[in-house]
A and B are shown apart, each in its own frame.
Chain A
Amino acid sequence: MAPERIVLRFSADISEKPIIYRLVKDYDLVINILKANVNPQKEGTMVLELTGAQYNQGLEYLRQEGVAVQPLIEGIARNESRCTMCGACTAICPTGALFIERQSMEVFFNEDKCIVCQLCVKACPMWAMEVQF
């Protein structure tokens, strides 16, 4: 059985609980932590490979503990608080996923059109375009 790659997000109130320990001990899952981060606001993110017979029960336990679980799909997200709507990304974006609405000149991001080429990540002067694993 091939391991599943998932992304876990921990809110600040649960990021110090021994959740991964319980996942291994109680559900007998094989884990491989690919990436882990706790930001200054104490919110945690973890990219995990998970294998085992009780895989679904393990995910159910994570959700009960308040952990947000999503499959690992590399994507791009716009950090709205960083974006100043300058538009510097819009002629770089090859698919029109980042575009300017011509009356207001506001910049929009249509994730459905994004092909995760990541050109915008470097072109953004405010580091507002973020890679999500």
Chain B
Amino acid sequence: MNTQKTYAEINERIKTGKAVVLTVEELIVLVEQKGLTQAAREVDVVTTGTFSPMCSSGVFLSFGHSAPRIKMHRVWLNNIPAYTGIAAVDAYLGATEVPEDDPLNSNYPGEFRYGGGHVIQELAGRKPIRLKATAYGTDCYPRREIETMITLDDINEATLFNPRNAYQNYNCAVNLSSRTIYTYMGVLKPNLANAHYCSAGQLSPLLKDPYFNTIGVGTRIFLGGGIGYVAWHGTQHFPSVPKDETGRELGPAGGTLSLIGDLKQMDPQWLRGTSYPGYGATLTVGTGIPIPILNEEIARYAAAKDKDLYAPIVDYSEAYPNRRSDNLGYVSYAELKSGKIIVMGKEVSTAPLSSYPRARKIAEILKQWIQEGKFLIAEPVQLLPSPEDKIKARVLNG
């Protein structure tokens, strides 16, 4: 008989310490040993993880009111501008923001050594941050300037709110041109000399739930070392399951998540300021999502292996910048992780930008939290658009 479990049953087992919780890697071994049907029956929850650069990240900060009061019009944190077009002492610091006097790419390739992501890491690490704000002054908020040191513990709220994280899948980037290029996929050597990919593959959360059967609004997750939630689908959420010419599924792609959590609970080990030469600054975010094994179908997707999951190979010298949709074929994560792939008949060295060892560690930590009974599985209050909704990306004309 096909296994059917409910969230309530699984949570009851978690509370009584009887739940069977495995990481994805452990589930894959169990399925090999006992078969899918038996594994789906035995396992309650499978944990995933990813530790990757995620540009669409940032933090809402509420500093508290000074005396006299100030309605902040411009705000800088360690010289990084934050957005203040919201209430008086609230601001949003984006991960990719850089100092106003940064040389950017005028000294190509720019270094982008310090940006919003680095400030977020330092905030999470309880380091003192220089806050500067200016204002035009109002009757109720007369102060026009403030410059002071703050730490995460000094301010009222710090809510990490990332509009797009945990990309379901990503391109394998190559460079067909004759010069080195500096991209958000790292340094790509000329003439197809290296290939960079950016996914934990079989450990990556959204590759394990292609139809968004369990991951939805309100799903409780590991975020930056603390507990966070799925707030919504991410921006540019265009989930699909590409197939090759024979109709074989190549694994899912295109889905994204919007994530939210309390920065005060988080750990700088899992929120790391990151620099890509010639491209910019960003934040590497640790994310782990539990998948409740409600039935055998969910278990089958969760047990997908690197050899079943594929990334498109894309040229970042011409095709990508010009928004051409052509690719140079598909390659499995098993091939990518071997260190060599074949592109256009040539053997090319591969390298990841997403840390598989750290992804594995996140899946292990999340497993431990669940086993200790302190992390229950949240049933989504609303499911997210799935490949069946066929949402398509729009083109910006101009």
A42 within 8 A of B: no
Q: Chain A's nearest CB lies how many Å from the CB of B125?
A: 12
The answer to whether B349 touches A86 (Cβ under 8 A) is no
Residues of A within 8 A of B351 (CB): 87-92, 100
- Inter-chain contact count A-B, CB under 8 Å? 77
Option from B276, B349, B356 in Cβ contact (under 8 Å) with A125: B276
A35 within 8 A of B: no
The answer to whether A87 touches B277 (Cβ under 8 A) is no
Residues of B within 8 A of A102 (CB): 337-339
A-facing mask of B168-191, CB < 8 A → 1, else 0? 000000000000000000110100
The answer to whether B195 touches A91 (Cβ under 8 A) is yes
What is the bound-complex CA distance between A129 and B367, given in angstroms?
32
Interface residues of A, count at CB 8 A: 21
What is the bound-complex CA distance between A125 and B51, given in angstroms?
13
A117 within 8 A of B: no
The answer to whether B353 touches A125 (Cβ under 8 A) is yes
Beta-carbon nearest neighbor of B186 in chain A: A88
Option from A100, A105, A122 in Cβ contact (under 8 Å) with B187: A122
Beta-carbon contacts under 8 Å, A89-104 to B:
89-92, 100, 102, 104
Residues of B within 8 A of A87 (CB): 351-353, 355-356
What is the bound-complex CA distance between A91 and B339, given in angstroms?
9
B53 within 8 A of A: yes
Q: Chain B's nearest CB lies how many Å from the CB of A132?
A: 19
Residues of A within 8 A of B111 (CB): 122
Residues of B within 8 A of A122 (CB): 109, 111, 187, 277
Beta-carbon nearest neighbor of B356 in chain A: A105
The answer to whether A86 touches B275 (Cβ under 8 A) is no
Residues of A within 8 A of B337 (CB): 102, 105
What is the bound-complex CA distance between A85 and B286, given in angstroms?
13
Beta-carbon contacts under 8 Å, B340-377 to A:
349-358, 360
Residues of B within 8 A of A125 (CB): 53, 186, 274-276, 284, 353
> Is chain A's interface secondary structure helix, strand, loop, or mixed overall?
loop
Residues of A within 8 A of B189 (CB): 91-92
A31 within 8 A of B: no
Contact status of A91 and B113, CB under 8 A, knowing A126-B272, A127-B275: no
The answer to whether A84 touches B195 (Cβ under 8 A) is no
A106 within 8 A of B: yes
What is the bound-complex CA distance between A91 and B338, given in angstroms?
12
The answer to whether A91 touches B196 (Cβ under 8 A) is yes
A123 within 8 A of B: yes
B194 within 8 A of A: yes
Residues of B within 8 A of A89 (CB): 351
Beta-carbon nearest neighbor of A119 in chain B: B187
Contact status of A86 and B277, CB under 8 A, knowing A91-B196, A123-B186, A125-B53: no
The answer to whether B353 touches A86 (Cβ under 8 A) is yes
Beta-carbon contacts under 8 Å, B272-304 to A:
272, 274-277, 284
The answer to whether A86 touches B338 (Cβ under 8 A) is no
What is the bound-complex CA distance between A4 and B5, given in angstroms?
74
Contact status of A91 and B356, CB under 8 A, knowing A102-B338, A125-B53, A126-B272: no
Beta-carbon nearest neighbor of B359 in chain A: A105
Q: Chain A's nearest CB lies how many Å from the CB of B52?
A: 8
The answer to whether A88 touches B272 (Cβ under 8 A) is no
The answer to whether A127 touches B113 (Cβ under 8 A) is yes
Beta-carbon nearest neighbor of B340 in chain A: A91
What is the bound-complex CA distance between A99 and B186, given in angstroms?
16
Q: Chain B's nearest CB lies how many Å from the CB of A124?
A: 9
Given contact pairs A91-B351, A125-B276, enumerate 7 new A-B contacts (beta carbons under 8 Å).
A84-B284, A88-B352, A88-B353, A90-B339, A90-B351, A102-B337, A125-B275
- B interface residues (Cβ-Cβ under 8 A, vs A): 51, 53, 109, 111, 113, 186-187, 189, 194-196, 272, 274-277, 284, 337-339, 349-358, 360
Nearest 4 A/B pairs, CB to CB: A91-B351, A105-B356, A91-B194, A87-B352
- Residue pairs across A and B with Cβ atoms less than 8 A apart, 24 shown, are A84-B51, A84-B272, A84-B284, A84-B358, A85-B358, A86-B51, A87-B352, A87-B353, A87-B355, A87-B356, A88-B196, A88-B353, A91-B195, A92-B186, A92-B194, A92-B351, A104-B357, A119-B187, A122-B187, A123-B186, A123-B277, A125-B186, A125-B284, A126-B274
